[in-house]
Amino acid sequence: MDTCACALELLGMLVYVGAWLCALATTILPQWLTMSTALLPVESYELGLWETCVVQDVGGMECRAYDSLLGLSSDLKLARILMCTALAVGMLGILVAIPGLYLINSCKDHGGYRTKRTFTIIGGVLGMVSGVLCLIPVSYMAHLAVIHFFDDKVPDVVPRWEFGDALFCGWAAGFFLIVAGLLMVTSCMCSQVEPQPVLQRRYQVMGANINQRKRSEYV
């Protein structure tokens, strides 16, 4: 593998791990949607996948987990399922891609370089799938917030949910997961020829010289 392909592979893996951690933070954070009211300017509310929080300007924060899974709205259930699936697929992609790294000494006796390329490509594809699964719930929750925010049927005095920090973190995570997957696949496309070990090439040269000497002796 040449230097460019190896650098793309390492860069893709670093971005992969960082994006997965970002997706994990998005899943845990309660700041998916935020809301502040004019009646209580010292307090704001935050809505997450697992809990709701009340934040006070003095620095206090009180969170409460949802009482029942069956009592959740379909939007939160869908977001939970998709984010957990994205994390599982992303982790599987990382575990599959690690043995395929050029710097990892593995798969030497089971197909060699082609097997490592297969692992890397599968890991990259799983990363792109994980990124898409991460972008779907984040974009869907943002879409619902926009629809409710500009709903003319709701009076202006009624507070509305707005974008939280977790949505922006989720967009970044999904984007970089897709980028990481593309980098992993591109690194395999850039290295089409299987490199031969130095000793193997040396033995081949020595064998060719011996055969040439035998032919000359017969002549």
Tell me the three state secondary structure of residue 65: strand
Q: How many Å apart are CA 13 and CA 181, to the nearest integer? A: 9
Lowest-confidence pick of 3-17, 20-34, 126-140: 3-17
Domain residue ranges in the chain: 2-217
Task: Count other C-beta atoms under 10 Å from residue 35's C-beta.
Answer: 15
Q: Residue 87: what residue type? A: L
pLDDT reading at 200 higher than 50: no
Mean pLDDT across the chain, nearest whole number? 80
Residue 167: its pLDDT value, please?
A: 92
pLDDT in tens, 13-68: 999 999 999 999 999 998 898 887 766 667 788 888 888 888 887 777 788 888 87
Residue 194: its pLDDT value, please?
A: 46
Tell me the three state secondary structure of residue 64: strand
Tell me the three state secondary structure of residue 55: strand
Residue 219: its pLDDT value, please?
A: 47
Q: How many Å apart are CA 8 and CA 63, to the nearest integer? A: 42
pLDDT reading at 203 higher than 50: no
Residue 186: its pLDDT value, please?
A: 87
Q: How many Å apart are CA 15 and CA 20, to the nearest integer? A: 8
Largest CA distance in the chain: 105
Mean of pLDDT values over 177-198: 74
Quickly state the pLDDT bin for 107 (edges 50, 70, 90). low
Q: How many Å apart are CA 185 and CA 9, to the nearest integer? A: 8
Quickly state the pLDDT bin for 81 (edges 50, 70, 90). very high
10, exposed or middle or buried, with CB in 10 Å at 0-12, 13-18, 19+?
middle
C-beta of residue 8 within 8 angstroms of C-beta of residue 186: yes
Mean of pLDDT values over 149-162: 71
Mean of pLDDT values over 92-108: 79
C-beta of residue 12 within 8 angstroms of C-beta of residue 93: no
Q: Per mean pLDDT, which of 131-135, 145-149, 162-166 is the most reliable? A: 131-135
For the chain, give the number of residues. 219
Which phi and psi angles does 38 have, rounded to 5°?
-75, -25
Give kind and range of the element (H or E) at residue 163: strand 162-163
Instruction: Flag whether the pTM goes above 0.75.
Output: yes
Tokens of 83: 């984010």
pLDDT top residue among 185 and 58: 185
Angle subtended at Cα 36 by Cα 33 and Cα 40, rounded to the nearest 5 degrees: 150
pLDDT reading at 204 higher than 70: no
Residues in Cβ contact with 126 at an 8 Å cutoff, skipping those fewer than 6 apart:
89, 90, 92, 93, 96, 97, 181
pLDDT top residue among 111 and 137: 137
Cα-based distances in Å from 90 to 61, 80, 104, 117, 170 = 32, 15, 20, 18, 14
C-beta of residue 199 within 8 angstroms of C-beta of residue 68: no
- CATH fold for the domain made of 2-217: Butyryl-CoA Dehydrogenase, subunit A; domain 3 (1.20.140)
